[in-house]
Structure 1
Amino acid sequence: MTRVVLVDDHTLVRHGIRTLLEIAEVEVVGEADDGQAGLEVVAATQPDVVLLDLRMPRYDGLWMLNTLQERGVEVPVLVLTTFDDDTLVLDALRAGARGYLLKDVTVDQLTRAVRTLADGGTLVAPSITSRMLRALRSRPTTADDAPAAQPLTERELEVLRLVAEGLSNREISRALCLVEGTVKNHVSAILLKLAARDRTNAVLRALHLGILG
C-alpha cells in the first residue's frame, strides 16, 4: 500500500483527502498544517509520497520544498493546491516537486497521480501543462538554468521524452521493450549529462536547452 503524508493548513481539507485516499487503499501515515511540521512528519514516517499545499501560514509549501532539497531528502512531492498560476507551478517544479495538481481533480486522478509519483514518475495537470511549457520557453535562459550539456544518445532522448510525459521507469521499460534496470541506467546517464538533480529538473533543463523541441 502506498504511504502518504498530507501537508495542508486546512484541517477539514486534510480529513477529506484522508478519507478519499483510504477508500482507494492509499494509506495516510501522517498530517501537518505547515512546512515545518511537515518536515518533522516526513522524517518520522518516511512516506512514499507527500501531498503538499503551497499557500500556508508561517512555513509554506515552497519553503518546505526548498528545505527538503537542501537537506537531500528525496521523497516525491505532489503539490495539491487551488492556485492555477504559471509562475507558482514553475517555482514548485524548480524547487523539486514531481507533480502539480489542482484540488478540483477526481479521486481517481489523485490516486493515480500518487501512485505514479511513488513509482518514480512525474505528473502535471493537463490543464496547465501547455501554459507551463510556453512560460518555460519564454523565460530568459541563464547559465544556472541551462548549463552546457553533453549530447544525449537517441535512446536517451527516447527515454527523456517519456520521462517528460510523466511515465515511470516501469512504464518506460514496457513502452520501449527494455529491462527496467536498463531504463534506470539511461535515466541516470540523462541526469548526469544534463547536470540535473532529478527527473523533473532534467525535463526543465532539456526544455531550456531546446532538446525536447
Structure 2
Amino acid sequence: MVDDEALIRSGFERIIGAAPDITVVATGDAMAAVDLVISTAPEVVLLDIRMPGRNGIEVLADLLSLPDPPAVAMLTTFDSDDFIMRALDAGAAGFLVKDTDPEELPRHIRSLAAGGIVLSPTVGRTVVRGFLGSVRDSPEMHRIGLLTERERGVLQRVGHGDSNSEIGAALFLGVGTVKDYVSSIFVKLEVSTRVQAALVAERGGLLADRSREDGAES
C-alpha cells in the first residue's frame, strides 16, 4: 500500500490484513515505494495516483520496470481523469476509488494477484469514456474482426476481469494456452495491457453476453 497519508495507509492495512488469506507486507509513501517493493516482493500494490513529491504515475513506471513487477492498482478520486488515463497508458492493472466498500477490497486483491483486472464502477466509466474517445476511429476498434471465435471468447472473459486460471476453467483450456491466446489478442488489437484489451472489448460490444464464448472453437 503506497499513499502519502499515514492514516489512509493504516486504514487500508487493517481492512486488507483482516482477510485470513492476505498478508500486508509493507506500507509507505511514494519516496519509499520502490525500495519497499524490492525488499518485500509483494504480488499486488495499491498505489495512490496523486501524491506530492512523486506522483503515482512516476512510481508506477518504476515498479513496472522491475524484473518481476507486481500487479499495480491505482487508488484514485473522482477528479483524477487525466491521471487515470496516464496510468492506463503506463500499464496499471486496475483502478479503485478510495471509498471502495471495505468488504470488496480483499476480493479485488485476490483478483489482481491471480492476474485479473479491477475497475471501480465510477472509475470504469471515466476510463472507458477517455480511452474510447481516443481510439473510437482508430485501427484498434476495427481489429476486433481479426480475432478468432476462441480469441473473442477469451477477450470477453478478460473484459470481465477474469484471471488466466479462471478463463481456463471456464473454457476448458490450460493456463499456458490461455496465456498464448491473450498474447495473440494483444498483438491483434495492438494493446499492451489487459485493461486496454478489456476497454476495446467493451467498445466492440463483446461484454454484453458472456454465454457466447462457451463452446466456441478457434
Q: Fold-level match, TM-score > 0.5?
A: yes
2:99 to 104, 108, 111: 104
Structure 2 counterpart of 1:184, one-letter code: K
2: CA distance, partners of 1:72 / 1:205 = 28
Structure 2 counterpart of 1:28, one-letter code: V
Normalized per residue, which structure has more helix? 2
Are 1:41 and 2:36 counterparts?
yes
1: CA distance, partners of 2:51 / 2:80 = 16
Cα pair distance change 1:170/1:9, threshold 3 Å:
same
Between the aligned residues of both structures, percent identity stands at 40
Structure 1 residue matching 2:25: 3-state secondary structure:
strand
2:26 to 23, 30, 33: 30
Structure 1 counterpart of 2:29, one-letter code: D
2:69 to 63, 66, 74: 74
What do residues 119-178 of structure 1 show as CA deviations (whole Å, max 9, x unaligned)?
A: 0000101223234323222226798x9599692211111101210111111221232233
Cα pair distance change 1:188/1:65, threshold 3 Å:
same
State whether residues 137 and 207 of structure 1, in contact with CA within 8 Å, keep that contact through their aligned partners in structure 2: no
Q: Partner of 1:158 in structure 2? A: 153
2: CA distance, partners of 1:201 / 1:7 = 24
Count of aligned positions? 205
State whether residues 186 and 193 of structure 2, in contact with CA within 8 Å, keep that contact through their aligned partners in structure 1: yes
Q: CA deviation at 1:198?
A: 3.0
Moved over 4 A (4+): 70-73, 140-143, 145-150, 204-208, 210-213
Q: Partner of 1:172 in structure 2? A: 167
Cα pair distance change 1:47/1:207, threshold 3 Å:
same
Cα pair distance change 1:74/1:157, threshold 3 Å:
farther
With normalisation by structure 2, the TM-score equals 0.80
Normalized per residue, which structure has more strand? 1
RMSD: 2.8
2:121 to 113, 118, 126: 126
Unaligned runs of 5+ in 2: 208-218
